[in-house]
Amino acid sequence: MKVLNHAVSGPDGGSNSNKIVDILGLRTLFPLFMKTPRKSQRKGLSVREHEEHIISILAGILQHLTGQNRNRVVVKFEENDFEKVERICELHFKYLEKINSVDKAIVEEMRNSGEQLDEDEIYLRRLDGGLFTLQLIDYIILDVSVANAVVKEKIRNVIQLRRGSMETVREIVKEYAQNIGDENKEWKAKQNQYIDNLIEQF
């Protein structure tokens, strides 16, 4: 999973993303997305590592795919009575709760110490607490919602049922766009423009 994650990430992941779909790799990826295996006693990824990698792979694929291959990913979220919509929303709330806990701990620490942490340190702590995974989860929610109105309505219903907010999803993805690495300026600009368009349509 680590290798696959690397293979579909960033500006050079396009051909690998298409290859995964062409060789029917979605049949393997989505079962892993739906259920996190328990960690082996001797080896394997932790629950968090598994979720981070599978979410990153799905986000990477969506960033690169177009046309029929992209649609094959999006329609997966309609299958089996929208079970994958339920799953992505479950992960959204799981990681949002993690970040809310981190934020509370930071506020409490600053209150007790009387010192103000700088923005970079706060952001790094939030990343360590699972922020990047939350950003990718919400990127996936945004992307499949814009691509499929039926999926979007289901996502909206699930989030509202749990007293969440679609605006929260939008704001988290905005923060993600602002912090995309700039080692490849062309890729960064392309991604920022794409995300801006998603946010407008969302």
Q: Does the pLDDT value for residue 69 go beyond 80?
A: yes
Mean pLDDT estimate for the chain: 91
Q: Does the pLDDT value for residue 47 go beyond 50?
A: yes
pLDDT at 105: 94
Return the exposure string of 18-45: e unless at least 16 CB atoms fall within 10 Å of the residue's CB, then b: bebbeeebbeebbebbeebeeeeeeeeb
Q: Does the pLDDT value for residue 40 go beyond 80?
A: no
Q: Determine the Cα angle at 78 with ends 73 and 82, to 5°.
A: 125
Mean pLDDT, residues 44-71: 91
Find how far residue 77's CA is from the centre of its chain. 14
pLDDT at 37: 72
Coil, strand or helix: which one is 148? coil
pLDDT at 42: 47
Q: What Cα–Cα distance (Å) separates residue 168 from each residue in 1, 156, 159?
A: 29, 12, 10
pLDDT at 48: 87
Residue for token digits 């080692």? 183
pLDDT in tens, 146-173: 999 999 999 999 999 999 999 999 999 9
pTM of structure = 0.92
pLDDT in tens, 107-152: 999 988 888 888 889 999 999 999 999 999 999 999 999 999 999 9
Amino acid (one-letter) located at 124? L
Residue 202 is classified by DSSP as -
Q: What structural domains and CATH numbers belong to the chain?
A: 2-201 (1.25.10.10)
Label residue 55 exposed, middle or buried (CB < 10 Å: 0-12, 13-18, 19+): buried
Name the pLDDT band for 1 (thresholds 50, 70, 90): confident
Mean pLDDT, residues 21-38: 88
Q: What span, in angstroms and rounded, lies between the C-alpha atoms of 180 and 182?
A: 6
The tokens describing 185, both together, are 């300026």
The tokens describing 109, both together, are 């620490």
Cα dihedral 109→114→119→124 (10° resolution): -30
pLDDT at 43: 61
pLDDT at 39: 61
